[in-house]
Amino acid sequence: MGDRAQRDAEFSAYMEARQASLLRTAYLISGDRHTAEDLVQTALAKLYLAWDRVEDRGSLDGYVRRVIVNEHNSLWRRPFKRREHATDQVPEQAAPTPSSSAGGRDEELWDLVQTLPRKQRAAVVLRYYEELSEAETAEVLGVSVGTVKSQTSRALAALRSRSGDLFDTAGTTQEDR
């Protein structure tokens, strides 16, 4: 097998193994299924172009997450006209959320997470969904550990204050007590 064929096979194996997880992460960060698909596609395209330069294969997920976050942040810098597209038809139903099959509290929590500012939402998703450490989250977001701590703290405080009866101040559900 030639170098290029081997390279393509390695990349394809990585993409097949990680695409679903990356798509979930992108969806949680963006809140939109189509945007998440675009983010992952862009991130994987950039990874493909950089594949030969990435020496530490263990850092691939971090690299791709960083591209997803950066691309999502750049969406907000683009003019509004380019982000919105008019259509002739209005969708009949909202796109499913990651927890729509679980229903109930999970869906309500997801709705609350979507109300967070994008930086806080990204910090919460990376810390608690992706289970990254504060240092890893800071690296992906390109900020200091202190910023991750403050963004996460503010996000959790906002979620607690908005949750009403869904969660108590300790973060446990009312039904779990």
In angstroms, what CA-CA distances link 121 with 95, 112, 129? 19, 10, 11
**Domain hosting residue 159, numbered range:** 103-177
* Closest listed residue to residue 98, CA positions, set 174, 24, 26: 24
Q: Where is the domain boundary, 78, 95, 125?
A: 78
Contact predicate 169/162, CB 8 Å: no
Reference 138, options 153, 128, 149, 125; nearest CA is: 149
Cβ of 154: how many Cβ atoms within 10 Å?
A: 16
The whole-number pLDDT of residue 170 equals 46
Closest CA relative to residue 24, chosen from 110, 133, 135: 110
Which pLDDT does position 147 carry in this prediction?
A: 93
Give the span between the Cα atoms of 39 and 25, in whole angstroms.
10
- Rounded to whole angstroms, how far apart are CA atoms 89 and 174? 41
Which pLDDT tens digits describe the chain residue by residue (177 residues)?
678 888 899 999 999 999 999 999 999 888 889 999 999 999 999 999 988 888 888 888 888 999 999 898 887 665 544 455 556 666 555 444 444 444 566 777 778 888 889 889 989 988 888 888 999 899 888 899 999 999 999 988 888 888 765 555 444 444 443
Domain shared by 66 and 111, yes or no: no
Q: Are residues 62 and 109 in the same domain?
A: no
As given in the structure block, the two tokens for residue 125 are: 């998703």
Predicted local distance difference test score (pLDDT) of residue 175: 47
Using CA atoms, how far apart are residues 35 and 25, in angstroms rounded to an integer?
12
CATH code for the domain of 59: 1.10.1740
First to last CA, the chain: 59
- Assigned token pair, 66: 């960083």
Q: Is residue 166 part of a domain?
A: yes
Report pLDDT for 115.
Answer: 87
Compute and round to an integer the Cα radius of gyration of the chain. Answer: 18
Cα–Cα distance for residue pair 11/21, rounded to 1 Å: 16
Residue 154: CATH number of its domain? 1.10.10.10
Domain count of the fold of the chain: 2
Tell whether 65 and 110 lie within a shared domain. Answer: no
Please give the model's pTM, rounded to 2 decimal places: 0.59
**CA nearest 97: which of 5, 167, 24?**
24
Indicate whether 12 and 49 sit together in one domain: yes
